[in-house]
Amino acid sequence: MVVSLSQIFGGAGLAAGITVGALLAQQMLGTDAYAGVPSALFTLGSAGAAFIVGRLSQHYGRRTGLSAGFIVGGLGAIGVVMAAMMNSVILLFASLLIYGAGTATNLQARYAGTDLATNKQRAKAISTTMVMTTFGAVAGPNLVEIMGKFAVSIGVPSLAGPFILSATAFILAGLVLFIMLRPDPLEIAKRIEAYKEKSASETNTLSIHPTNNKRGLAVGATVMVLTQIVMVAIMTMTPVHMKHHGHGLTEVGIVIGFHVGSMYLPSLVTGILVDKIGRTAMSIASGITLLLAGLLAAFAPSDSMALLIIALSLLGLGWNFGLISGTAQ
């Protein structure tokens, strides 16, 4: 429950980077050529942070690792706001790297949700954690214009407004975990495992350990990497594409809101499907859905909000299928 609550705040924190990161870089650099750099940077920062948060979580517990990751991500968002105020591209890029820690932590929280799940219930446990992200992740993009007006009222550039929301949301997520995640789920899982091993030895039966899953690790990681490449490539350029064709921030927020909702809301059903029909089948379904999303995004008329919403919703759904099936692998 505590992890799920943190995911609501974490989902809201994702909004800025997805919705206005590319537009902010475009405005500060005066060109579209580097509009994809913000997404690349916070994805790179997310990768580095994932390793550090993972190490902290494994050695000191989920509470320490996840709360630290969210708070660092919040500090990165504050840095982006300062960069916009100072018109400093170097500070912007450095802050986006740090901001990626919040994204990484939001995704890694799904593993904390599996600590107390059986092998056959893991996908469902992952999806339960992820579905809670929906509430914040859908609200975030739709608050872009409101946060922009708020930012202007306090003397901050409008496109930095959503990062104020991100900073607040990520830091709140970290505080919720640090204060409320007691006892740590990893510690409970270790105690349960130790008890099972002791019971097995007392009854002279063999303890059952997880098998070496190198093949599953390789397949699952590949599925998640390919899924992420397709999703980020299309999602990053959508706000820029829409702005070029006369759509305002409100319309951008609506499309991205549908997209992010499709990334997380279907999780509960996806988890059940992965457990029922198999991880490989759902990985294939992910590929097909992403292909359809890409084709529709490419050929949809630029002034058609409806088709853009459908394309980005399919993109989010395909990502959802790939992430949960790949994680379960």
Helices 133-142 and 161-180: angle between axes, nearest 10 degrees: 160
Residues 277-304: pLDDT tens digits?
Answer: 999 999 999 999 999 999 999 999 888 9
pTM of the model: 0.76
Residues 32-74: pLDDT tens digits?
Answer: 777 778 878 888 898 899 899 989 988 888 889 999 999 999 9
pLDDT for 160: 92
- Report, in angstroms and rounded to the nearest whole number, the Rg of the chain calculated over CA atoms: 20
More confident residue, 262 or 129: 262
Question: What's the rounded Cα separation, in Å, for the pair 313 and 54?
Answer: 30
Tokens for 218, please give them.
């390789």
- The number of beta carbons lying within 10 Å of the beta carbon of residue 306 is 9
Tokens for 132, please give them.
């809670």
**AA identity, residue 312:** L
Tokens for 128, please give them.
């339960």
Question: What's the rounded Cα separation, in Å, for the pair 160 and 152?
Answer: 9
CATH architecture entry for 2-328: Up-down Bundle (1.20)
pLDDT for 281: 95
Question: What's the rounded Cα separation, in Å, for the pair 44 and 95?
Answer: 12
Question: What's the rounded Cα separation, in Å, for the pair 324 and 301?
Answer: 31
Tell me which residue of 25, 18, 20 sits closest to 92, measured CA to CA. 25
Name the one residue in this structure whose structure tokens are 């499309």: 255
Question: What's the rounded Cα separation, in Å, for the pair 319 and 329?
Answer: 15
pLDDT for 193: 74
Select the highest-mean-pLDDT range: 144-148, 192-196, 277-281.
277-281
**AA identity, residue 33:** A
Residues 295, 196 contacting (CB under 8 angstroms): no
Alpha-carbon 142 to chain mean position? 17
Residues 2, 181 contacting (CB under 8 angstroms): yes
Name the one residue in this structure whose structure tokens are 């899982």: 189
Question: What's the rounded Cα separation, in Å, for the pair 1 and 293?
Answer: 33
- The helix or strand, by DSSP H or E, that contains position 74, with its residue range, turns out to be helix 62-86
Residues 78-127: pLDDT tens digits?
Answer: 999 999 999 999 999 999 999 999 988 988 876 766 665 666 666 677 77
Domain ranges of the chain: 2-328
